[in-house]
Structure 1
Amino acid sequence: MKKAYVFVLLFAFPFMAQGQVLPSSGGQNFAELGVAAGSYRGSFSISYFRNWHIGAKKRIGIGLGGRATSFLGKNLYYITAPASLTSESTSPLILFKENIVDNIDSLLVKTAQVNMVNVMLNLDYRLSERMSFGFNIDLLGFSFGGRQQGNFMNGASGKNTSATPTPFNILLVSDNDRGSLNSELYFRYRVRERWSAKLGAQFLFTEYTTETKVQQYPEANDRFRNKSLLANIGVAYSF
């Protein structure tokens, strides 16, 4: 999730510049609903997390919780997923490596439907009593969904196959990630005492595992990933 890591670095910088961190006397709970849409795809998510406010003015929020996301798409291309193939490297420096096009094949999934449940990390910064901006990202969890028909493509040749969502999700570094993971960059505005509206961008990875290792070059592979950038709106309730 290369773009997601850039978001994390940019967003974390003002936090690190705060100096001494003073813990808050308590936390704040958030329950959120969101919908996101893009070209021939969309998602629905529900999340809960607890935020702790830190810093001298308690403007910085760090939260941990869970999120369930359901993704739908039509005629989507999933490409070779493992970092050992896409960049021929699994080191942390993979973030700065270009993909090796000759190693990447495609899986066209006619009807994609992936459900994921993940532990989620939230970071936010309060601009005023009503406004804040933030970033969240899935860390670890599982995915499920029905078996879908697809067409594996290697250049001009192809073959029919079927695939199911990769069951285990974990955030690592770039294409070292495994499974399906959601992340958001958002702006939140409090409209009432406990209710807020959200607007932002969602960067969503979904991954399928084919019934056999359909890719054979440069090594056998059965994992394929789609990366979706979606516009996201939502509502949050704090308590």
Structure 2
Amino acid sequence: MKHVLTILLVFMIGTVQAQNRLRPTVDLTLAAGSSQATFSLVGWHQWQLGRKQRLSIGVGPRITSYVGNKKDFWTAPASIARGSSTPFLVVLSSQETQNWDTLNVQRPFVFSMNAAVQVAHQIGKRFRAGFNIDLVGFSVGRTSAAVFTSDGRQETTEAKPVPFNLLLTGDLDQGSLNSEFFVQYRLKEKWSLRAVYQFYFVEYKTNTSIQQLPEPNDRFRNKANLLGIGLSYSLN
């Protein structure tokens, strides 16, 4: 949380120092994969950097809605799912699949609102490429029937979205977080078309710690790999 607050403070200072470089934009994205899809809306405040102002760094609020049908969610906490729960090292650690149990959420629907950051670079006159990711926020959504499976044993239960979202790196993350790699092509002065690869973490939790081994757990995660298309509109 300390690192997140530091990043936000830096950008607030940058707002005062670089008003003449401010570039507000709005992005709409629709992404889909196997039996799941997202729709997202984000408003970016972007600062153009460098002598030619090709590099931009932006911040803004992002709303993402996620919907799926009978999707598998797996054991979420890094302390169970990965070989290490050390920040950053968790990404490279082994996946302890023998500890994973499955929660099949029948009708998942999650609506999340997060603060996000973006870094992008202008390529020539019309192309732009970049990356963005959610930092912190909250989620609401539908409570759904779910089927928990462990060692071949099945149990019917209910699950609901994890309400608090926080970026901590890899499987240490909590809640529902959106991230995108994109390539953008300027159609007109203010309109651009975007091709997007989206990686969306979405989490559900059961009413009780339904998983008991190797330790009690109620959080389960689906890592959605999605392809999408979007539009970007410049407000100035």
TM-score, length-scaled by structure 2: 0.90
Aligned to 1:52: 47
What SS does the aligned partner of 1:56 have? coil
Q: 1:197 aligns with which of 174, 193, 198?
A: 193
Aligned to 1:125: 121
What SS does the aligned partner of 2:53 have? coil
Aligned to 1:170: 166
Q: Does the alignment pair 1:181 with 2:181?
A: no
Deviation at 1:25, TM superposition (A): 3.6
Once residues 134 and 118 of structure 1 are traced to their aligned partners in structure 2, the CA distance between those partners, rounded to angstroms, is 19
* Number of aligned positions between the proteins: 218
User: Gaps spanning 5+ residues in structure 2: where?
Assistant: 1-17
Q: 1:102 aligns with which of 98, 103, 106?
A: 98
Contact 1:24 1:53 in 2 (8 A): no
Aligned to 1:138: 134
What SS does the aligned partner of 2:171 have? helix
Alignment map for 1:43-122 (pairs within 5 Å):
43-92=38-87, 93-122=89-118
Contact 1:53 1:59 in 2 (8 A): yes
Moved over 2 A (4+): none
Deviation at 1:24, TM superposition (A): 7.9
Once residues 173 and 234 of structure 1 are traced to their aligned partners in structure 2, the CA distance between those partners, rounded to angstroms, is 26
TM-score, length-scaled by structure 1: 0.89
Once residues 233 and 138 of structure 1 are traced to their aligned partners in structure 2, the CA distance between those partners, rounded to angstroms, is 19
Contact 1:208 1:225 in 2 (8 A): yes
What SS does the aligned partner of 1:225 have? strand
Q: Does the alignment pair 1:233 with 2:225?
A: no
Letter in 2 for 1:82: P
Aligned to 1:32: 27
Deviation at 1:185, TM superposition (A): 0.4
What SS does the aligned partner of 2:79 have? helix
User: Gaps spanning 5+ residues in structure 1: where?
Assistant: 1-22
Once residues 156 and 30 of structure 1 are traced to their aligned partners in structure 2, the CA distance between those partners, rounded to angstroms, is 50
Kindly, what percent of the aligned residue pairs are identical? Answer: 41
Once residues 128 and 220 of structure 2 are traced to their aligned partners in structure 1, the CA distance between those partners, rounded to angstroms, is 36
Deviation at 1:88, TM superposition (A): 4.5
Structure 1 vs Structure 2 CA RMSD? 1.3
